[in-house]
Structure 1
Amino acid sequence: MPIKDKPQPRRPSLITSLLIFVPGLLLLANLVLPIFTGPPIPRVPYSFFIEQIEDGDVANVEVGQNVIRYRLDESSDQPDQVLQTTPIFDLELPNRLEANGVEFAAIPPAGNRWFLTLLGWVVPPLIFVGLFQLFSRRQGGGGLSGALSITKSKAKVYVEGDENKITFNDVAGVEESKVELAEIVEFLQAPQRFIEIGARIPKGALLIGPPGTGKTLLAKAVAGEAGVPFFSISGSEFVELFVGTGAARVRDLFEQAKKKAPCIIFIDELDAIGKSRSGGNGMGGNDEREQTLNQLLTEMDGFGAGDATVIVLAATNRPETLDPALLRPGRFDRQILVDRPDLSGRLAILDIYAQKVKLGAEVDLKAIATRTPGFAGADLANLVNEAALLAARRKSETVEEQDFSEAVERVVAGLEKKSRVLNKAEKEIVAYHEVGHALVGALMPGSDEVQKISIVPRGMAALGYTLQVPTEDRFLLNETELRGQITTLLGGRSAEEVIFGKITTGASNDLQRATDLAEQMVTSYGMSKILGPLAYAQGQQNNFLGNSGNTRRPVSETTAEAIDQEVKAIVEGAHQEALSILEKNRELLDAIAIQLLHIEVMEGEHLRKLLSQVQANDEQPEHQADAASKFVNA
């Protein structure tokens, strides 16, 4: 937990109160004083003033820069009345006054109005100083430190003894990463053993991996195991509006860390300040983010070792954007991959989160782990929580297997939309579409086991879905298996062609995925006899967030045309194979689709028994004969 013994802000001092009270009083006096100085002097047009001079009604005149005041003669209708007018550029005015015998003079300077000068020149700075002092004290610091608190680090500090501290026992599925970080913990606890042998602990360790895999949790576990102060801050908290703020906060953070050494600094989302300076964005050396990065590089080179050890942990899911100067030895010496867990890792994670809910006696966590390949730790935590919410909605006292099954489908396919009612024709098309996927997938090598078919709409666009669950974690796929996946994806569209003789828009996502997979086979995996074992796609190292841009290398028009033809040939071949499978199993396709239209959901042993009746093609496709030995990273 964060330290809570931070001193409370003090009340504004007497000087601050006076700086606010006195200018306010003077301003009030300036507004109220004219009320007690008598009625205002009437203002008349300048032409009327000249007319009165010609008529001999003016006794004397006082000429000023901005105003002309004059008193009427005793012979006028209103003797001794004082009037004023606005002067204009009139060079004949003195001659006219002298010709009519009018006494005139300049308006004397207002020596008794010194407070107006005070209000104009002194009061505004006093008000500004008073408000600044009040603001700076409310920021939690007094005097100069309060005024400059914007440059202070916003890092949260965690200390030993917290009741809810996290240890390595609370982290699962990343055993290799824990081993790497355990060495840092050992150094912090017993540095002399390493120093005596001449070993130097890494100054920095960078945790990289997809979102939700537990990078931040691992950093907190290191702090909990080491029992040293732990400074936690996000990279975005360094950079703000004011130039130089980020660099000042970096300096302040490392100054605080040195005072409490040995300790750990954890910077989450390092890419917010650590982006490469060679990005070609045209920014100069005074860019705020670049100044912050330069200061971080300097600080990581400057702090000492031994009893003053400060170890920097950082996390990012965009390591490809980081500046090379950050990743060189001596700064972030060690890069630790925190990847998605395998089957045993998912089971361990489910064991941890399942302890926080009441499980039913028949819940099989291993079966759940098998059904969730590709799930990160955060996904599994959300899965357990969703299952608990579903159980609470049923008013059940425990979380049962059915709750986990529904939670998996909610996470994978989206929320069930029973309110989205399809008409009879659309419902029939969706049923045949999904059964087509299932029949083709039951025969294809490399396809996952079909466990459920549903024509209940889910998510934003899915009008039905076929749930396929892998029986094991796979890391390599051969060409035959990849082509089988493409064929399975086209099974829905092919079923629409076989039954209705026309196609609908429902296969758009299937076509997109099939085309992408075929293009990867040609451009990335070298699975083309015509183009050969060449990579026509640019490598995407450690790109955990995906890349929506064009990744194809610059190629000639001839090569680009050949790639397109190969991709089309792969997809078209899979399409023809799916059509032949469904035409041969037309009766089974009709039988399963009719049942699905009545019950809407098919799963379990009954579905597996039906799919076991699918008959394979008599002739094996040509591409399967010689592709069994070609493997590729999945």
Structure 2
Amino acid sequence: MISKISRSYISESIKYSKYKTMFLQDKPFYQIRQIYKIELKTKQGETFCSDIIKNTKDEISFELIPRHKVFYQWLDIRPFSWFLDILAFCFNQIQLFSSLIFSIYIILAINREKGKLNSNPLISSKQKSYFTFEDVAGNEEEKEEMKELIDFLKRPQKYTSVGAKIPKGVLLEGPPGTGKTLLAKALAGEANVPFYAVAGSEFKDQYFGVGASRVKSLFKEAINNAPCVVFIDEIDTIGRQRGDIKNDDGSIINQLLTEMDGFTKSKGIIVVGATNRADMLDSALLRPGRFDRKVLVGLPDVKAREAILKVHVRNKNISPDINFNQLAKQTPGMSGAQLEAVLNEASILTVRNQKEMITMEDLEEAIDRVLMGPAKKSIKYTEEERKMVAYHEAGHAVIGLKLEHAQKVQKITIIPRGSAGGYNLMLPEKETFFSSKKRMLANIISYLGGRVAEELVFDDVSNGACEDFKQATKIASLMVTKYGMSDLGVSQDSDFSDKKAIDTEIKKIIDQCYQECQKVIKENKSLLDKIVNLLLEKETINKEEIDLLV
């Protein structure tokens, strides 16, 4: 009869194939599949040991082991089985308790983070805008569109009494730096109403649903302070088309639409959205009743640039001989933000040169720095390199001087700026809104002038025409694929099968322009040499000096 069964934890195991050999050696035995060792003692005091095999139901099957003196002596010196049992039990309890504590910590951390989001709303307090439409230079038509909204905010009953609906939203679309944010601030400033400004990215968060709650909290505060202006910059960040959305953006858009639909006629809240990618916005945002008005804010023309420059010099000490019209003509394609950067750069140069007022020279240098980067006067060309750069820039200039429809030369320098070895400022005679085929071909020829001059004079070429080729190819590609200005006709967005034909047509345009460029440069070789000699002498020459050579 068996009087007692005790268990001992086995901390090591060997392969079962060594089972029999272990009985014949003076070594302890461990069975690879056993977790516990069972000691069986009879009433006569004899001790037996069996293998333990635990199956999936946690049942134990016994198989008696043949008696062996060495094996039984080893069993007798294992007196600490109770200690390991207690240790294993304590370890399991500690592991369970640790898992519970960790789970509680994660839950508390998430709740604490959500609590921070709820306790710190997206807009903590309303802002007051001190800008007016007098601070917004240029964009006169855009200002007129916005000015009409002022009356809506000040006297909404005037329109609701006759059944008119107050616009809920205005979408400002245009390139970066054109004054979209300034227009929204001026709207709130002119109407003297609170102004709430947020970026579209501020609604996003790592936790799903937080973005929608932020939209809700924003409009809740706006309603409490109506009438007001809510400005959402870069609205395309959250307002993209919902077909491919796989994150929280969908719930943010839905909440925004819900809030805008919830405006009553008397609340007087106007939502102003700004974007440079209106084509990416969800169609639900653009329908009437959401963003009722769309205002295109484009780059300023020459008159607008002149007005913008005058606005930004209000608080600056400037020389009385500054010609703002000339500066405006030297900055085609610049946005209002870039023009502001020009004035700021000129102010820094004035301080650096220890002068008391900003001069025309400072402003022209500032334009070059904004467009091309600072001059790298420390770079020293070899005489051959210096001469090659001079001929390269002079080649562009000759095309501008002698080719009809080409842009005209304003300034040439062989002082390196940014990544360019030299710099040639060429501007159109008149600022136009459309570009003809003749003007586009003339621009391609102008870009090729530097390479043709190098090849003609040195019978060799440099890598300085890399950017010129890039721009020339870009124009030719647009002529073929977008504008229908080639023998392929007016087809657009051609499929892959037409790719070879498109490349062939682009190469044809470039080759024809290259031949025309060679003809103009060869016919005006003496003018080319004159410009080069003056450049090598002065390094930088302006339009007046160039005109004297013609």
Contact 1:497 1:503 in 2 (8 A): yes
**What is the CA deviation profile of residues 534-553 of structure 1, one whole-angstrom value per residue up to 9, with x for unaligned ones?**
1x33xxxxxxxxxxxxxx43
Partner of 1:485: 443
1:606 corresponds, among 531, 545, 550, to: 545
Partner of 1:406: 365
1:72-221 matches, cutoff 5 A: 89-95=36-42, 98-99=45-46, 132=108, 136=112, 147=115, 149-150=117-118, 153-155=121-123, 157-160=125-128, 165-221=130-186
Structure 1 counterpart SS, 2:36: coil
Partner of 1:332: 291
Partner of 1:16: none
Partner of 1:436: 395
Contact 1:168 1:178 in 2 (8 A): yes
Deviation at 1:372, TM superposition (A): 0.7
Distance 1:244 1:90 in 2: 56
Contact 1:371 1:470 in 2 (8 A): no
Deviation at 1:88, TM superposition (A): 6.8
Cα gap change, 1:309/1:403 in structure 2, threshold over 3 Å: closer, same or farther?
same
Contact 2:127 2:196 in 1 (8 A): no
Cα gap change, 1:496/1:123 in structure 2, threshold over 3 Å: closer, same or farther?
closer
Contact 1:63 1:105 in 2 (8 A): no
2:462 maps to a residue whose letter is T
Contact 2:121 2:214 in 1 (8 A): yes
Distance 2:271 2:444 in 1: 46
Structure 2 counterpart SS, 1:198: coil
Q: Which moved more, 1:471-480 or 1:437-446?
A: 471-480
Cα gap change, 1:94/1:158 in structure 2, threshold over 3 Å: closer, same or farther?
same
Deviation at 1:525, TM superposition (A): 2.3
**What is the CA deviation profile of residues 159-178 of structure 1, one whole-angstrom value per residue up to 9, with x for unaligned ones?**
44x7xx21212111222121
Cα gap change, 1:130/1:599 in structure 2, threshold over 3 Å: closer, same or farther?
closer
Structure 1 counterpart SS, 2:318: coil
Partner of 1:365: 324
Partner of 1:12: none
Deviation at 1:151, TM superposition (A): 8.1
Deviation at 1:148, TM superposition (A): 6.2
Partner of 1:590: 529
Partner of 1:566: 505
Cα gap change, 1:248/1:151 in structure 2, threshold over 3 Å: closer, same or farther?
farther
Deviation at 1:594, TM superposition (A): 2.5
- CA RMSD of the aligned region, Å? 3.3
Deviation at 1:487, TM superposition (A): 1.3
**What is the CA deviation profile of residues 295-322 of structure 1, one whole-angstrom value per residue up to 9, with x for unaligned ones?**
212222122221x232211111111111
Partner of 1:232: 197
Cα gap change, 1:95/1:391 in structure 2, threshold over 3 Å: closer, same or farther?
farther
Partner of 1:474: 432
Contact 1:444 1:481 in 2 (8 A): no
Cα gap change, 1:435/1:248 in structure 2, threshold over 3 Å: closer, same or farther?
same
2:447 maps to a residue whose letter is L
Structure 1 counterpart SS, 2:236: helix
Partner of 1:526: 484
1:282-431 matches, cutoff 5 A: 287-306=247-266, 308-431=267-390
Query: Does 2:464 align with 1:506?
Result: yes
Cα gap change, 1:194/1:436 in structure 2, threshold over 3 Å: closer, same or farther?
same
Distance 1:230 1:373 in 2: 33
Distance 1:464 1:224 in 2: 46
Cα gap change, 1:172/1:95 in structure 2, threshold over 3 Å: closer, same or farther?
farther
Partner of 1:446: 405
Q: Which moved more, 1:491-500 or 1:564-573?
A: 564-573
Deviation at 1:408, TM superposition (A): 0.9
Deviation at 1:477, TM superposition (A): 2.9
**What is the CA deviation profile of residues 508-562 of structure 1, one whole-angstrom value per residue up to 9, with x for unaligned ones?**
211121122122223322223x333x1x33xxxxxxxxxxxxxx432644xx444
2:115 maps to a residue whose letter is A
Structure 1 counterpart SS, 2:446: helix
Distance 2:529 2:284 in 1: 63
Structure 1 counterpart SS, 2:441: helix
Deviation at 1:251, TM superposition (A): 1.7
Structure 1 counterpart SS, 2:292: strand
Deviation at 1:123, TM superposition (A): 12
* TM-score calculated relative to the size of structure 1: 0.71
Distance 2:172 2:282 in 1: 15
Structure 2 counterpart SS, 1:566: helix
Contact 1:495 1:582 in 2 (8 A): yes
Deviation at 1:135, TM superposition (A): 9.0
Q: Which moved more, 1:570-579 or 1:346-355?
A: 570-579
1:554 corresponds, among 476, 495, 511, to: 495
Distance 2:409 2:219 in 1: 55
**What is the CA deviation profile of residues 19-53 of structure 1, one whole-angstrom value per residue up to 9, with x for unaligned ones?**
xxxxxxxxxxxxxxxxxxxxxxxxxxxxxxxxxxx
2:517 maps to a residue whose letter is A
Cα gap change, 1:418/1:375 in structure 2, threshold over 3 Å: closer, same or farther?
same
Deviation at 1:387, TM superposition (A): 0.6
Structure 1: 5+ residue stretches without partners: 1-60, 68-86, 140-145, 538-551, 613-634
Cα gap change, 1:378/1:65 in structure 2, threshold over 3 Å: closer, same or farther?
farther
Distance 1:416 1:93 in 2: 95
Partner of 1:29: none
Distance 2:457 2:8 in 1: 98
Structure 1 counterpart SS, 2:505: helix
2:149 maps to a residue whose letter is I
Deviation at 1:358, TM superposition (A): 0.8
Percent of aligned positions that are identical:
40
Structure 2 counterpart SS, 1:264: strand
Partner of 2:52: none
Partner of 1:621: none
* TM-score calculated relative to the size of structure 2: 0.81
Deviation at 1:479, TM superposition (A): 2.2
Deviation at 1:503, TM superposition (A): 2.0
